[in-house]
């Protein structure tokens, strides 16, 4: 039986495992995966590289002039993993570091940055058959997505996961308390910002994965997908 193509929108707090489950689902069902957080991270890296961030201030007039010159694309590497490119350069590693993590909420709160990224995301998903994760996918980017999931987990659990991930990448300088503070601060900025604050769409399914294994959450998401395409 030929299944209809749908749009899967996965939103939620930072470091709650959204990307992991979104990637796993995309691979399992043969859909493209788009990590919209990586796009805001790449814009942040661009700002840092061009000296546009001083302390907590982003030079908005300069960034506004540069925004049309910022092209973000994704390419699947030899291992089948999607990697982020900023104006043709692979920046996958740089955008995951603490320097970008500490500033990305400032950049993603800017209206003209969001409008530019949302337009790119809508173009990428125009033909459906995508799993997209972020903060505003079910509310702003694809409000008509057939399957919407809002993922959360406690701040402590999320910081533990992020800390392990950083250590796994060889980061020996960042402490657990710094990671926890970063998670809490990003939650605050993401949910209280004026532009597209993080919130659960009315028709999104809520998943708290604090006490779920990766296999359990992947299976749960896959079952929601199957239910959705069957209807
Ligand atoms: O998912 P992430 O941690 O890689 O996201 C990085 C930042 O980008 C995060 O602070 C929130 C922001 N973001 C956003 O505002 N809208 C999205 N659709 C995705 C991410």
Mind listing the pLDDT tens digit for each residue in 184-230? 988 888 889 888 889 999 999 999 999 999 999 999 999 999 999 98
Q: Tell me the average pLDDT across 88-113.
A: 93
DSSP annotation of 175 reads -
Q: Is the Cα dihedral 85, 49, 105, 169 positive or negative?
A: positive
pLDDT tens, position by position, 179-192: 999 899 888 888 89
Note the pLDDT of residue 46: 98
Listed residue (85, 81, 75) closest to 27, CA to CA: 81
Whether 59 and 53 have beta carbons less than 8 Å apart is answered as yes
pLDDT tens, position by position, 129-156: 999 999 999 999 999 999 999 999 999 9
- Atom in ligand 1 nearest the alpha carbon of residue 109: 15
State the pTM of this model: 0.90
Average model confidence (pLDDT) across the chain: 93
Lowest-confidence range among 2-6, 89-93, 104-108?
A: 2-6
Q: Is the predicted pLDDT of residue 118 greater than 90, yes or no? A: yes
- Atom in ligand 1 nearest the alpha carbon of residue 189: 10
For ligand 1, say whether the CB of 94 is within 6 Å of any of its atoms: no
Whether 113 and 62 have beta carbons less than 8 Å apart is answered as no
Whether 180 and 159 have beta carbons less than 8 Å apart is answered as yes
For ligand 1, say whether the CB of 186 is within 6 Å of any of its atoms: yes
For ligand 1, say whether the CB of 161 is within 6 Å of any of its atoms: no
Q: Is the predicted pLDDT of residue 1 greater than 60, yes or no? A: no
Note the pLDDT of residue 2: 64
Note the pLDDT of residue 3: 72
Q: Tell me the average pLDDT across 72-91.
A: 93
- Measured between alpha carbons, how far is residue 204 from residues 32, 40, 45, 194 in Å? 21, 23, 31, 21
Q: Tell me the average pLDDT across 87-98.
A: 94
Give, using CA atoms, the residue closest to atom 9 of ligand 1: 105
Determine phi and psi for 23, rounding to 5 degrees: -65, -45
Q: Tell me the average pLDDT across 73-92.
A: 93
Ligand 1 centroid to residue 2 C-alpha, Å: 34
At 76, is the secondary structure helix, strand, or coil?
A: strand
Q: Tell me the average pLDDT across 64-81.
A: 92
Note the pLDDT of residue 193: 86
Note the pLDDT of residue 98: 84
For ligand 1, say whether the CB of 84 is within 6 Å of any of its atoms: no
For ligand 1, say whether the CB of 108 is within 6 Å of any of its atoms: yes
């Amino acid at each position: 039986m030929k299944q209809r193509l749908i749009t899967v929108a996965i939103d939620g707090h930072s470091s709650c495992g959204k990307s992991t489950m979104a990637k796993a689902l995309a691979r399992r069902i043969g859909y493209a995966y788009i990590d919209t957080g990586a796009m805001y991270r790449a814009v942040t890296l661009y700002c840092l590289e061009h000296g546009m961030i001083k302390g907590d201030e982003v030079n908005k007039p300069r960034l506004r002039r540069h925004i049309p010159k910022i092209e973000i694309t994704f390419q699947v590497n030899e291992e089948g993993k999607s990697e982020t490119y900023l104006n043709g350069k692979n920046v996958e590693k740089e955008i995951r570091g603490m320097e970008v993590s500490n500033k990305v909420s400032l950049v993603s709160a800017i209206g003209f940055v969001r409008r530019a990224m949302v337009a790119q995301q809508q173009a990428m998903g125009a033909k459906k058959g995508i799993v997209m994760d972020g903060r505003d996918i079910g509310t702003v980017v694809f409000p008509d997505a057939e399957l919407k999931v809002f993922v959360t987990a406690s701040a402590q659990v999320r910081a533990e996961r992020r800390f392990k991930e950083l250590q796994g990448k060889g980061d020996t300088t960042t402490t657990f308390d710094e990671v926890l503070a970063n998670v809490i601060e990003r939650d605050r900025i993401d949910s209280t910002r004026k532009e597209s604050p993080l919130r659960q769409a009315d028709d999104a399914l809520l998943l708290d994965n604090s006490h779920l294994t990766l296999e359990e959450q992947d299976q749960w998401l896959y079952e929601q997908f199957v239910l959705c395409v069957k209807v």
